[in-house]
Amino acid sequence: MIESSAPSPGFTKDLLRWYGRHHRNLPWRETSDPYAIWVSEIMLQQTTVQTVIPYYERWLALFPDLGSLAQSPLKKVLKAWQGLGYYARARNMRQAAQVLIKRYDGRFPSRYEELRKLPGFGPYTTAAVLSLVFGLPYPVLDANVRRVVMRLARMSGGPNTKKDKLLMERLLGWIPRKKPGLFNQAMMELGALVCRPHGPLCLLCPVSSFCRAYEAGEQEVIPSPKKRSVTNIEAVVGIICKDGKYLIQKRPSSGLLADLWEFPGGKRDPGETLKEALRRELREELGVEVAAARPLITVRHAYTRFRVKLHAYECRLKSDPKTDPKRRRWVSLRAIRRYPFPSGSARIVDKLGTPINWGHNTNFRISRISPGNYVKNLNSETRIVSLF
């Protein structure tokens, strides 16, 4: 069911008044720099404000403008993004910065068609930049706005492309010609703070008198939840250490988690034990046999569509694998922290720990891996020792 909700001038007025009084003070709201606004809009997609703040600040310190982003190596850009997920966004930002420097003299174009052609500029980002930077009346439709409008219009069922078209038509009728950026921000803020996915605060809502779902008592069931199937994946990786250096390799340049680094390994096949999977994966990937392996740590990480359980094994190999400076390297414990890893692998890197003082014998390099257990590299041999 869709009910008409004619945009009343009172709606926008009440919304903007509420926003003026209650909006959060966020770093990207205190700047008029188009580049900084664009960075924040990309980071905020499917990520919470609290998570984004430190990333945003670090990013602007590392890449203060389009020029610095365009010139930075991809590895540095992906490392700065590590943990935010959807790594294609970081790669697209760098590519878009390169195009903007080359073709637009380092400025954002103000025409929808031109912006939309830039890497990573979908309808949301394009509308956000046009409204927030140039003050043009392009409405944004993110998850928060979608929920708010569906409730205001009492639009039952789940979101889909057809409904998005209807929502956009409504928003185009509502967005004011004056201060359209403020309207967009207010709609998003209302969705984040008041018209929340669960337990909307209708009694505090500045636009409750315009809300058809509230009137019908259906605010809790609109929109109906999306059924999302989540796949469980179990994978195993080898932590191979030689002369104090760890073997890591780069993922392909396209597809999932492209260009990030990881430890060699892969998915466990049905019926395989973890050790069997490890031996097979290292044979297939590195062309070497495992001499000995023992578990180091298991980490779990949830992505949007799958959940990964990642088992890391400390391994000794029968022979040295082939390396390739571009895709497979031995790197020191200090250097490994400069490489971009997917979140699950990054947690394993964290657990590799810092070297501890082992008295006068400098041939020993110890990394803490779990309470009481340490990886000990003596010359080229690696083994687990228990210190307690």
Question: Which lies closer to ligand SF4 via its Cβ, residue 200 or residue 342?
Answer: 200
**CA dist., res. 148 & res. 107, Å (int):** 33
**Smallest distance, Å, CB 205 to ligand SF4?**
3
Nearest Cα to 206, choosing from 7, 24, 21? 21
Question: Which lies closer to ligand SF4 via its Cβ, residue 201 or residue 385?
Answer: 201
Identity of the residue numbered 302 = A
CB atoms within 10 A of CB 363: 9
Q: Which stretch binds ligand SF4 (CB under 6 A): 18-26, 59-67, 205-213, 374-382?
A: 205-213
Question: Which lies closer to ligand SF4 via its Cβ, residue 80 or residue 148?
Answer: 148
Alpha carbon distances (Å) from 9 to 133, 167, 176: 24, 18, 9
Site string for ligand SF4, 96-135 (x = CB under 6 A): ----------------------------------------
**293 in contact with ligand SF4 (CB under 6 A):** no
Identity of the residue numbered 348 = I
Q: Using alpha carbons only, what angle is made at residue 375 by residues 373 and 378, rounded to the nearest 5 degrees? A: 135
**Smallest distance, Å, CB 5 to ligand SF4?**
10
Q: Which stretch binds ligand SF4 (CB under 6 A): 109-117, 193-201, 283-291, 341-349?
A: 193-201
Question: Which lies closer to ligand SF4 via its Cβ, residue 201 or residue 291?
Answer: 201
How many residues of this chain interact with ligand SF4, rule: CB under 6 A? 15
Q: Using alpha carbons only, what angle is made at residue 149 by residues 303 and 155, rounded to the nearest 5 degrees? A: 95
Q: Which stretch binds ligand SF4 (CB under 6 A): 67-75, 204-212, 248-256, 318-326?
A: 204-212
Pairing relationship of beta strands 231-242 and 306-317 according to DSSP bridges: parallel
Site for ligand SF4 in 206-245 (CB under 6 A): 207-208, 211, 213-214, 219
Q: Please tell me which residue in 3, 30, 41, 234 is annotated as part of the active site.
A: 41
**CA dist., res. 103 & res. 120, Å (int):** 16
Question: Which lies closer to ligand SF4 via its Cβ, residue 154 or residue 279?
Answer: 154
**Smallest distance, Å, CB 191 to ligand SF4?**
8
Going 100 to 102 to 253 to 346, the CA torsion angle's sign is negative
* Cβ pair 238, 161 in contact under 8 A: no
335 torsion bin: left (phi>0), alpha (psi -120 to 50), beta (else): alpha
| 304-321 b/e (C-beta count within 10 Å ≥ 16 → b) | eeeebebbbbbbbbeeeb
Site string for ligand SF4, 137-156 (x = CB under 6 A): -----------x--xx----
Question: Which lies closer to ligand SF4 via its Cβ, residue 36 or residue 213?
Answer: 213
**Smallest distance, Å, CB 202 to ligand SF4?**
3
**Smallest distance, Å, CB 167 to ligand SF4?**
13
Kindly tell me which residue out of 200, 244, 265, 321 binds ligand SF4, with binding defined by CB under 6 A: 200
CB atoms within 10 A of CB 160: 10
Q: Which stretch binds ligand SF4 (CB under 6 A): 42-50, 89-97, 201-209, 251-259?
A: 201-209
Question: Which lies closer to ligand SF4 via its Cβ, residue 101 or residue 216?
Answer: 216
Is residue 381 annotated as part of the catalytic site, yes or no?
A: no
User: Residue 345 is encoded by which pair of tokens?
Assistant: 């692998």
User: Using N-to-C axis directions, what is the helix angle for 88-104 and 74-81, rounded to 10°?
Assistant: 130
**CA dist., res. 159 & res. 147, Å (int):** 9
**Smallest distance, Å, CB 171 to ligand SF4?**
14
Kindly tell me which residue out of 145, 205, 240, 348 binds ligand SF4, with binding defined by CB under 6 A: 205
User: What is the enclosing helix (H) or strand (E) of 40?
Assistant: helix 34-43
Name residue 367's beta-bridge partners: 355, 375
Kindly tell me which residue out of 202, 258, 299, 331 binds ligand SF4, with binding defined by CB under 6 A: 202
Kindly tell me which residue out of 60, 195, 288, 296 binds ligand SF4, with binding defined by CB under 6 A: 195
User: Residue 228 is encoded by which pair of tokens?
Assistant: 């999302």
Task: List, by residue number, the catalytic residues.
Answer: 41
Interface with ligand SF4 by CB under 6 A: which residues?
148, 151-152, 194-195, 200-202, 205, 207-208, 211, 213-214, 219
